[in-house]
Amino acid sequence: MLKTPMNNHCIILVLALTILYGCTQEITTNTITNAQTDTITTSHEIEDRYIKYNEHDHTIKRIANKYSIDWTLVKAIIIKESHFDPNYISSTGAIGLMQLMPRKGSYFSDSYKGFTNARRQTRNKVGQRIYNGKKDIEWATQYRSELDSIFTKYKNDTSNLYSIDQRFNVSWNINSGVEQFANDFYYFKKRGHGTYGSRIYALAAYNAGRGAVVRSKENGKLDKIPINRQTELYVGLLERIYSELKLHEGLINETNDWVLKL
C-alpha cells in the first residue's frame, strides 16, 4: 500500500511540542485527586512514583502483545490518562487506568444519557450546551456523583463493583483501552499512513475521537491533528513520555524525570 506522508503541519507541531516540553525548566504545581482515598497527590509525588512504577507491567505487556501494540506506548497512555490510579473518575465519567468513557460493560444511567444528549446540542449565546434544562457539565457532574457512590459502596466487594461497571477492573480496563487504540492505529495504517503517522493520529483520536482527526472518509491525506490546545499538548506529551519509556525498557531514568512534568 502506498504510504502517504503525514500532514506537514502535524509533523512540525509534534516535533515543536516535544522540543518545547524538553526545554522548559518551569516546575508545574499540578495536583491530582485520588478517587479512592480523596487525598491530593502533588506532581512531584507522582513523578517519583512513575520513575520505577511497574506494578501492572506484566498485564500491560500481555494485552499490548495481543493487539500488536508497543507496551511502552500503552504505559505512556496510562501515565497521562490516570496517573496509574485504577479508580480515578474524571469530571465527565471516564474511569480507570486508561480513562474509558462508558461502553458495553459500563454503568449507564439517565444522567449519562442527558450528558451525551447535551453534548450534541448547539451552543447557546453564552457558549452553553443545554438539554432538558441542564447544562452538559451539570449532567456530567450528576453522572460522576453516581459513579462515586457506586465505588464507595462496593470498593471492598469487587465482584459486585465489576458487575456494575467493568471499567474498575484493571485488566478489563487496559484491554478495552488498548483495543480502542489499536483499532484506530490500524485504521490509520489502512488509510495509507506509516507507523509514526498512524501512532500520532491514533493518539489524537484517543483524546478527541476519530471523527476529529478524519476530515474525509475517502481521502487519508486530509487527516490531521485537531487544532485545539488540549489535543496538541496531549499528543506532544505522550510522545515525550513514550520515547523515554522505550529508551529505558519501560522505566523513567531518574535524571530524565523532566519528561513527567504535566
Q: Is 1 among the domain residues?
A: no
Domain of residue 44, residue span: 8-101+167-260
pLDDT band, residue 40 (cuts 50/70/90): very low
Q: Is 2 among the domain residues?
A: no
139-to-76, 189, 230 alpha-carbon distances in Å: 30, 37, 22
pLDDT tens readout for residues 16-27? 454 444 443 332
Better-scored residue on pLDDT, 262 or 158: 158
199-to-50, 52, 166, 171, 189 alpha-carbon distances in Å: 23, 25, 27, 23, 9
What's the domain count of the chain? Answer: 2
Of 164, 195, 213, the residue that ends a domain is: 164
Residue 21 has a pLDDT of 43
Question: pTM value?
Answer: 0.81
For residues 68 and 127, state if they share a domain.
no
pLDDT tens readout for residues 61-113? 999 999 999 999 999 999 999 988 999 999 999 999 999 999 999 999 999 99
For residues 184 and 202, state if they share a domain.
yes
For the chain, what is the mean pLDDT?
85
For residues 188 and 251, state if they share a domain.
yes
